[in-house]
Amino acid sequence: MSDPIKNRYEFVILFDVENGNPNGDPDAGNMPRLDPETGCGLVTDVCLKRKIRNYVETVKEDEAGYRIYIKEGTPLNTSDNEGYLCAGIDGAAAMKPDDLKKAVKKREEAGVDVDHQVRDFMCRNFFDIRTFGAVMTTMVKGNLNCGQVRGPVQLGFARSVDPIVPQEVTITRIAITTEADAEKKGTEMGRKYVVPYALYRCEGYVSANLARKVTGFSEDDLELLWQAILNMFENDRSAARGKMAVRELIVFRHDCELGCAPAWKLFDAVKVERKPDVLAPRAYSDYAVSVDESALPAGVACIRKG
């Protein structure tokens, strides 16, 4: 992997959904998430990070340095234990708390900085820790603790440009589970929620300072992140989500580590507006997207991808 990034970035992701549910709310019968005051749709940062993780896992297939820490079917302690093994402590996950403390103390007396060695191992080996950070204090039985890593890449919630009107669609199911059900009824009724069309905007941040001081997030990692964002829905199709696509990724690159301008000034330069003759948007072409590059502060460049 290459050296840690040296430039701060902010970025805007524009993605849309057609006849799908981009992020269901389990507390509301899996209806699309929305802001009750404005009616605008919401997609959580956790949902988007999951798509990015899935893409990296699909492309890299557990290649060294690009494994995924937060993944289905893999206990966190299994990965945590690898960090302790790297620090010379075997079988940490199975140790009692007092035994693990003694083992750590013994290694520290031998000149090993266990905390930093474990943390650095996790950052080197897991792309999502190096990128988003992680709270690795699972503390099962009070023992394993790989520390807390603050990641250089952060995402906000995505919000739809216009209010959404979720539609409840009734569906039928002809598959019968048991023979008893087959004698009583021929079909079953169900329902699903869809958004006919919505364009969402998400804003994100990349800190070169945290990349250098904490995780080692590199230029190679950054390019993989852009690739993952642009393609995060392409290998994650499902009937529930309908047609989803990232339409554009707008990146602001500062020419220094700490940045040349506040993030809000850059985000304000990106305008996404419904065209005046469109009453109910049903396509990306119903919107006009512009970046006022003349308003960008000195030392900031705009890169449009997609």
Q: In this predicted structure, what is the pLDDT of residue 140?
A: 46
Q: Give the pLDDT band of residue 186 (cuts 50, 70, 90).
A: low
DSSP 46-71: HHHHHHHHHHHHHHHTT-TT-B-SS-
Residue 159 lies in a domain: yes
* Burial profile 252-271: b = 16 or more Cβ within 10 angstroms, e = fewer: bbbeeeebbbebeebbebbe
Residue 177 lies in a domain: no
Give the mean pLDDT of 34-61: 97
Lowest-confidence region among 137-146, 201-210, 228-237, 247-256: 137-146
Adjacent-strand bridge partners of 256: none
Residue 248 identity: E
Residue 75 identity: P
Domain that holds residue 214: 9-164+193-305
* Cα dist from 157 to 43, 65, 115, whole Å: 6, 28, 32
Q: Which residue has the higher pLDDT, 4 or 84?
A: 4
- Say how many domains are in the chain: 1
Residue 23 lies in a domain: yes
Residue 98 lies in a domain: yes
Q: Give the pLDDT band of residue 189 (cuts 50, 70, 90).
A: confident
Report residue 53: phi and psi, to 5°.
-60, -45
User: CA-to-CA distance for 163 and 44, rounded, in angstroms?
Assistant: 16
What percentage of the chain reaches a pLDDT higher than 70? 94
State pTM to two decimals: 0.91
Q: What count of other Cβ atoms lies within 10 Å of the Cβ of residue 299?
A: 13
Return the beta strands (E) in the chain as ranges: 9-20, 24-25, 31-32, 40-43, 133-135, 148-150, 153-155, 158-163, 167-173, 188-206, 243-254, 270-274, 287-291, 300-305
Among candidate residues 143, 165, 134, the one with its CA nearest the CA of residue 46: 134
User: CA-to-CA distance for 209 and 7, rounded, in angstroms?
Assistant: 8
Residue 71 lies in a domain: yes
Residue 150 lies in a domain: yes
